[in-house]
Structure 1
């Protein structure tokens, strides 16, 4: 009898407050559900259509807008299912003092019409302070439909195809446990942002051109870790204005390796300072760890760079500094590279030139250290060697190949 009375009381309370879900949550307004102090905004309640060809873009933006304008703990729920989206912008700033959680359980698929993306990103977050994106779901850029329009290999002034996730002026964000695949352009681009943590990601697009796994520019304190990246370009690329960047426990390959740059393509570029790449494994990549700058560049700096505890398997160009990247110009690069340490680098290479340091004649590389380098050639036909220009290197410990 007491149990029946309690049930009646709960039903009366729910009726008075609006309605309850099966778990005891309460409705808190259109499309929202309050549960354990968190208000959930389900994209289905805003008109999202899973499993259909029609777009759900407007529904996603409405769900985000409701969560962003809510002054409390908010969560955007994307349940299992496939959702078609064209350009989607999640705009801040938001009212909540706590991070908004986007729980991605389903699969997002990009609309294949390239004209549906006038901006730089497919899914963009702009001026958001406090974000958690997680849930085990998938972000599928459907890049196969638009890769034929990519002409960046032949056109140095090409327009990049949209990134799957484009972060601008985002702070205090954590992106974890999601799968990005087949991006049109970069899988993720982080710019003008601060305190971004990315981990436990899977990024796969081995056949796509210019499909960097992650590109970072003009950002401070970005940490990337515990992820597997298989792309048609750099697994991670660190561009101008990047400060205090850590790349840890990344498995990269296939792809073009982990790169600083390209730097010096644009006028008045900002410096790169404070980069740590450690505990990474590179599998069959065309490059290992690389710093690349354009010739005829304006003056800037790349300094305070540590490559530590890197393992390579059948990497073509394990250690590269190329300050004449992407051009036949005879004018030297003015990007000054200094304070670079390579420590505990080991593995195998398919190239007889395992270390290539081609620095600028105008601003030679300065304060470069090699400590315990042990690379082996997969073939016994040739000897392993190094090549250097416009750089003086300090060596300690084991050195294979021999120093320049």
Structure 2
């Protein structure tokens, strides 16, 4: 009897000493259930990825309707496997932690919270469009009055990945840019819904301050497909940063912000920024209830002088944008539908306009087809530089824009507007009647 009792206690002791498995494993499939009560789910998610994320046909399942607490940065390395996010990854509200411990990104002193690396993988939000809640309102309030405030992390950083598909994902209230595709190739991002909405009316009278909440930015990446997106926020839905090549963007609906951005480019004097072979088609842009539509499609390069330091200063970089096709764009109430600006700096309180013709960054072989809708003609870029036109091509004297073609352009301006419609400065243009 004594021996049996001893054996029982020994067995129970072994059971309590052995932790409950962090996930349920069935063959090559691992299903994670959140711990709840505000506990950090990152260790369990990473354990499941380690067990099932590097196996051919492996699956990591985070089912709906669960919410998973993300309280620390994480890197998930996936190979020949699928991560199914039916639930929501909710990033914690610990601003101090994220500012000091997020991964650093080699561009504009930025950072990211979740890195996905690997090859031949799929991340799928499924029929419920699971995904990310970045707890962004905390960040919008915290960063009010400044756009590039250090420490706002990108919630989804596709990094050093090859042959990956991310689909059916929702990203709500991103802390900063929603997605960054960085140093990767053959990446497809399909069926995304991104929404950054500010509800704090102390941030701005309209409650609309949501700067730098881009949908997706590409950087040092090749063969990227961005299709079937819906975006509401306060900044670019898509932005092509340096060395973005062979990019296809199609079927995108935008509510508020500057729209589709080529840039910014040429910020660093020791780097060459190349953007080549880009197609943008079937895009609809219009204002949202919280944000005007500043532009439809625009191109921006920094001044040719290295003035100030990143993220808000810089310049003097080199490179080119070539072989771009922009077609089937519908505009509604857009302040400046199409423009090129080669005098970029975010040091607004300083006299940067003196450097406006110094950029050596090149724009050439750009083709615009079937662009329709209405502009508002209400934008002033820098003091003294009014660029309130349907099309404004302000190219640098040191690097004129060449081979710009326009076909089937029908952009109306308000009946009360009596100024110029098209401005061409140092630009070789076909298909438009320019005013200079």
Q: Distance in 1 between matches of 2:157 and 2:426?
A: 37
TM-score by length of 2: 0.77
Secondary structure, counterpart of 2:43 in structure 1? helix
Paired residue for 1:42, among 9, 31, 37?
Answer: 31
2:412 to 366, 373, 376: 376
Runs of 4+ in 1 over 6 A off after TM superposition: none
Residue number among 274, 279, 282 corresponding to 1:279 in the alignment? 282
| Partners of 2:161 and 2:87 in 1: CA distance | 24
| 1:127-185 superposed Cα distances (whole Å, 9 cap, x missing partner) | 44423333221311001112244378476xx5351111011111111111111011111
Q: RMSD between aligned alpha carbons?
A: 2.2
Are residue 86 (structure 1) and residue 76 (structure 2) matched? no
> 1:238-293, CA deviations, whole angstroms, 9 ceiling, x for partnerless residues?
11000000110100121211000000112313311111110111112211100001
The equivalent position to 2:139 in structure 1, one of 131, 134, 146, is: 146
Q: Distance in 1 between matches of 2:77 and 2:295?
A: 38
Q: 1:210 is matched with which residue: 205, 209, 212?
A: 212
Offset, 1:126: 2.4
Distance in 1 between residues matched to 2:361 and 2:417, nearest whole Å: 37
Look up the match of 1:19. none
Alignment of 1:291-370 (within 5 A): 291-296=299-304, 297-327=316-346, 328=352, 330-331=354-355, 332-351=358-377, 353-370=389-406
Work out whether residues 353 and 387 of structure 1, in 8 Å CA contact, stay in contact via their aligned partners in 2. yes
* Higher mean C-alpha displacement, 179-188 vs 140-149: 140-149
Question: In 2, are the aligned partners of 1:367 and 1:392 still within 8 Å (CA)?
Answer: yes
For normalisation by structure 1, the TM-score amounts to: 0.83
Q: Tell me, in whole angstroms, the C-alpha distance in 2 between the residues paired with 1:64 and 1:305.
A: 39
CA shift for structure 1 position 334: 1.7
Q: Contact conserved, 1:86 with 1:110, CA < 8 A, in 2?
A: yes
Q: Which runs of 5+ in 1 are unaligned?
A: 1-28
Partner of 1:104: 85
Moved more, 366-375 or 134-143: 134-143
CA distance in 1, matches of 2:68, 2:76: 20
Matched residue SS, 1:144? helix
Equivalent in the alignment of 1:115: 96
Matches within 5 A, 1:115-264: 115-117=96-98, 118=101, 119=103, 120-135=111-126, 136-150=129-143, 153=146, 158-159=149-150, 161-207=152-198, 208-264=210-266
The Cα shift of 1:102 comes to: 1.1
Aligned residues of 1:314 and 1:378 also touching (Cα < 8 A): no
**C-alpha distance in 2 between matches for 1:32 and 1:154:** 44
Q: Distance in 2 between matches of 1:330 and 1:303?
A: 27
Structure 1 partner of 2:44: 59
Between the aligned partners of 1:203 and 1:390, the Cα distance in structure 2 is: 37
CA contact 1:110–1:141 (8 Å) conserved in 2 = yes
Structure 2: 5+ residue runs without aligned partners?
1-21, 104-110, 199-209, 288-292, 305-315, 347-351, 378-387
Q: Secondary structure at the residue paired with 2:38?
A: coil
What count of residue pairs does the alignment treat as equivalent? 357
Q: Which residue of 2 aligns with 1:13?
A: none
